[in-house]
């Protein structure tokens, strides 16, 4: 849905508009004559160490490609005649990678660190520098890194000011996976898309009681926030938070 918005230009581009795709035209299996989406990869991606080469034929898709996880949580994906992976959810009205570094799945990891306080379910939220929105701490998984290491690293960078706190090892040992799969992200294209692994670490023994949250890296502020329906969150984080709240018997 978010990557089919034709009312405004693609993120940080001046004049790249998506080709209009209606609900019926989304599946690749549906014939769509005259489908001519623009081909756009942002200049900011070119030559970056975290990005793929322009030619997708240099990538080994559907496998671990020298430490880069090119496996989708949704099973094997196919490639078009130019060797570009096809988004498993269907057409988005834009070819290329947009602002995403990788062809195919771009894997992220998100951490929901939570506790009960005064009878309320709380989690650590950050305010993002880029959009100013409230979000759960998270980011892209590095080459050679596991999703479980990335969630913890991202939390430490964004909510603990980069400081490793020894006693939290106990908390990191008890992660529960909340979600893994495709994310409805505005950056997604026909050939590049976001997938995330969201892990919840619930503090039942007061390990975080005397820990001062400290924003760092992509985060402007970090604070305990009560899980509620009213929260407006970045990307699909509201869905992740509602899945997490459900695990504690709370319907948001
Ligand atoms: C963000 C994650 C988010 C993912 C998908 C990443 O850039 O850091 O928090 O879940 O994109 O939207």
> 105: Cβ below 6 Å to ligand 1?
no
In short, whether 185's Cβ falls inside 6 Å of ligand 1 is yes
Ligand 1 centroid, distance to 123 Cα (angstroms): 17
Mean pLDDT, rounded, for 159-164: 96
**Beta carbon of 134 within 6 Å of any ligand 1 atom:** no
Check pocket membership of 199 for ligand 1, CB cut-off 6 A.
no
What's the gap in Å between 174 CA and the centre of ligand 1? 22
Average pLDDT over residues 149-163: 97
Cα of 112 from ligand 1 centre, angstroms = 13
The continuous run of DSSP H or E covering 237 comes out as helix 237-247
Q: What is the pLDDT of residues 132-148, one digit of tens each?
A: 999 999 999 999 999 99
pLDDT band at 244 (very low <50, low <70, confident <90, very high): very high
Find the 199 Cα to ligand 1 centroid distance in Å: 13
The whole-angstrom separation of Cα 150 and Cα 157 is: 10
Tokens 């509201």 locate to 238
Three state DSSP letters for 122-152 = EEEEEEECCCCCEECCEEECCCCCCHHHHHH
Nearest CA owner, ligand 1 atom 9: 138
pLDDT value at residue 175: 97
Q: Is the pLDDT of residue 130 over 90?
A: no
The number of angstroms, rounded, from the C-alpha of 104 to the middle of its chain's C-alpha atoms is 14
Q: What is the pLDDT of residue 87?
A: 98
Residue 69 has pLDDT above 90, yes or no: yes
User: In this predicted model, what pLDDT tens digit does every residue of 201-234 receive, in sequence order?
Assistant: 999 999 999 999 999 988 999 999 999 999 999 9
| Stretch 12-16: mean pLDDT | 92
Specify burial of residue 29 (Cβ count, 10 A radius: 0-12, 13-18, 19+): exposed
Give me the pLDDT at residue 200, please. 98
Integer Cα distance of 31 and 105 in angstroms: 24
d(CA 191, CA 95): 6
CA–CA gap between residue 10 and residue 95 (Å, rounded): 12
Residue 131, pLDDT above cutoff 90: no
pTM metric for this prediction = 0.95
Three-state DSSP state, 179: strand
Q: Is 110 in the pocket of ligand 1 (CB under 6 A)?
A: yes
Q: Decide whether any atom of ligand 1 lies within 6 Å of the 154 Cβ.
A: no
HSE, CB side, 13 Å, CA atoms: give it for residue 210: 1
Specify the pLDDT at position 67: 97
Tell me the pLDDT tens digit for each residue of 79-102: 999 999 999 999 999 999 999 999
Instruction: Note the Cα 62 to chain centre separation in Å.
Output: 19
Token pair of 182 as six digits: 């495709």
């Amino acid at each position: 849905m978010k990557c089919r918005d034709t009312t405004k230009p693609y993120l940080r581009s001046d004049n790249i508009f998506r080709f209009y795709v209606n609900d019926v035209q989304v599946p690749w299996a549906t014939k769509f004559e005259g489908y001519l989406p623009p081909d756009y990869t942002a200049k900011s991606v070119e030559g970056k160490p975290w990005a793929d080469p322009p030619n997708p034929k240099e990538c080994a898709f559907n496998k671990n490609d020298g430490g880069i996880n090119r496996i989708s949580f949704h099973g094997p994906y196919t490639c078009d005649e130019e060797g570009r992976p096809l988004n498993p959810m269907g057409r988005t009205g834009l070819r290329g990678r947009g602002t995403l570094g990788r062809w195919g799945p771009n894997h992220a990891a998100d951490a929901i660190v939570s506790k009960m306080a005064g009878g309320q379910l709380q989690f650590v939220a950050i305010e993002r520098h880029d959009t100013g929105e409230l979000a759960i701490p998270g980011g892209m998984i590095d080459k050679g890194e596991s999703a479980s290491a990335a969630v913890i690293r991202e939390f430490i960078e964004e909510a603990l000011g980069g400081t490793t706190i020894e006693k939290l090892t106990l908390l990191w040992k008890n992660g529960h996976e909340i979600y893994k799969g495709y994310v409805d992200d505005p950056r997604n294209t026909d050939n590049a898309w976001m997938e995330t692994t969201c892990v919840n670490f619930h503090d039942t023994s007061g390990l975080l009681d005397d820990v001062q949250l400290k924003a760092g890296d992509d985060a402007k502020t970090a604070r305990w926030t009560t899980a509620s329906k009213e929260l407006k969150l970045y990307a699909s984080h509201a869905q992740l938070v509602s899945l997490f709240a459900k695990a504690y018997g709370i319907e948001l």
